[in-house]
Structures are given as C-alpha cells and as structure tokens.
Amino acid sequence: MPRKYIAFDIETAKILPENFGDLHDHRPLGITCMATWCSDEPSAVTFHSKNADGSPALQMTPEDVAAFVEHLKTKLQEGYTIVSHNGLGFDFVIVAEESGRLDDCRNLAVGHVDMMFHFFCGKGFPIKLNAAAKAIGVSKPANVDGSVAPQLWKDGDCQTVLDYVAQDCRLTLDVAEASEQAKKISWITGRGSKSHFELPDGWLTVEEATKLPLPDTSWMDTPWPRSKFTNWL
C-alpha cells in the first residue's frame, strides 16, 4: 500500500540583495507563509499570520509557526509521512528558528522524507525540485520563484505567493509519488539530458538516508559533506 504523504514548503520574508550567497548567512529570515498538501486531498492548506483587520501580516508570528509544527505532528499521528525537497537543510531549520520548537523540528526532520537529501546521500550532489519536476512533465511557474516571493508579499501580492507555495507542495508530491512508483527519481541535467537515480526501497527518511554508503565524489573539486544539511540536528 503506497504511503500517504503530506508535502510542506515555506516562503521566507527577508528581502535579500541580488547576489546573496548562502541564505543561512542572512538569518533570521522570517516566514511569510507556509503550505501543506496531503496526497489524498484535492488542494493545499496555506498558513499565514493576520493583521487586526484580517489582512495578511508581513510575517508569521512565533505562535502561528508553532501551531504549524503542531499541525505536522497531528498529521504524523494520522498516518501521513512528511515529504519535502531540502526540508532538512532549510525549511525545518527556519521553522525551528521562527517557532522556538527546536526539539520538535529536529524529530520531525529526522523522521521525514527529504527527497533532495536522499538523492544527495546517494549521488554526492543536490538537484533542484524543478529539474525533477520537468522530468515527469510538470514545472514551476516561469514568472515567480522563491527569490522574488518576499518582495511580492511585501507589495501586497500575497495571493500570488500563496499560490506559489501551494504549487511547490504539489510538485513535491508529484515527484515523490511518481518516483516511488517508478523506483527511481529522474531529473533533467544541466546539459538538458534526462538521468535517474534508483530508489530500490522507495524513499528513505533522513535517518535512513544517512546510513547509505558515501558516494564517490573524487571527481568534484569541493564536494559538500552531509554535515552541511545535518549539523543543526
């Protein structure tokens, strides 16, 4: 029986300079909104804080981010498996920081499926969600990406950002389910060709993926260590 997945994604609030380097160097980033999408639901559920007049607040309060952590914990109890793309190295780090719920976020991160981290543990390099999405015939919108979302939110175009974060959850679900069914994740390489990585046992949780043998990265100049993603745990 296939797993029931709940995909999640966040959008950060801080507006960064054009060549911002490593996102983590600019923390705290704040969160404008978040979304989840369950594999047996027709649409996403979005989360954001509200001003007194009911309009979207500039960023989420610690209390509202903590409520989102509780939402994920409840979904786990209902039998869902949390799935993300780089949730270990990014989303859960920011959610922990913004909610103050470090222990909960560590536990959720270790037990969830991070597709990018599983792939990285097997191959030694990461891939973007859109590269995997394009390989199965879907993709992100051309007019929005995570780098412009903070400005759009600040400018009051909140619905565009909410739609974007929801669609990222949908793409995550699509890739997770298609890859699990095919026993491999495919992606479009930088050269435009299609490649794949075998998933003989389906997707592994973060805890399981860390037990995979280290891949051969001797061909890389500066390979990333796994600790780049796990050092906050």
pTM: 0.96
Confidence at residue 98, expressed as pLDDT on a 0 to 100 scale: 98
What gap in Å lies between CA 213 and CA 233, rounded to an integer?
20
Confidence at residue 20, expressed as pLDDT on a 0 to 100 scale: 84
Confidence at residue 147, expressed as pLDDT on a 0 to 100 scale: 81
Task: Please work out, in degrees rounded to the nearest 5, the angle formed at the alpha carbon of residue 153 by the alpha carbons of 151 and 154.
Answer: 65
For residue 44, the tally of other CB atoms under 10 A from its CB is 23
Confidence at residue 165, expressed as pLDDT on a 0 to 100 scale: 96
Q: What is the mean pLDDT of the chain?
A: 96
Confidence at residue 18, expressed as pLDDT on a 0 to 100 scale: 81
Domains of the chain: 4-230 (3.30.420.10)
Confidence at residue 19, expressed as pLDDT on a 0 to 100 scale: 83
Q: How confident is the model at residue 190 (pLDDT cuts 50, 70, 90)?
A: very high
pLDDT at 36 over 80: yes
Phi and psi torsions of 204, nearest 5°:
-100, 145
Average pLDDT, stretch 150-174? 96
pLDDT > 90 fraction of the chain, expressed in percent and rounded:
91
Give the pLDDT confidence of 202-232 residue by residue, as tens digits. 999 999 999 999 999 999 999 999 999 999 9
Confidence at residue 140, expressed as pLDDT on a 0 to 100 scale: 82
Give the pLDDT confidence of 132-160 residue by residue, as tens digits. 999 999 988 777 777 899 999 999 999 99
Q: How confident is the model at residue 1 (pLDDT cuts 50, 70, 90)?
A: confident
Confidence at residue 159, expressed as pLDDT on a 0 to 100 scale: 96
Give the pLDDT confidence of 73-90 residue by residue, as tens digits. 999 999 999 999 999 999
Confidence at residue 90, expressed as pLDDT on a 0 to 100 scale: 97
Give the pLDDT confidence of 41-67 residue by residue, as tens digits. 999 999 999 999 999 999 999 999 999
What gap in Å lies between CA 92 and CA 108, rounded to an integer?
8
Confidence at residue 2, expressed as pLDDT on a 0 to 100 scale: 81
For residue 40, the tally of other CB atoms under 10 A from its CB is 8
Give the pLDDT confidence of 94-142 residue by residue, as tens digits. 999 999 999 999 999 999 999 999 999 999 999 999 999 999 999 887 7
Per DSSP bridges, beta strands 45-47 and 194-198 are unpaired
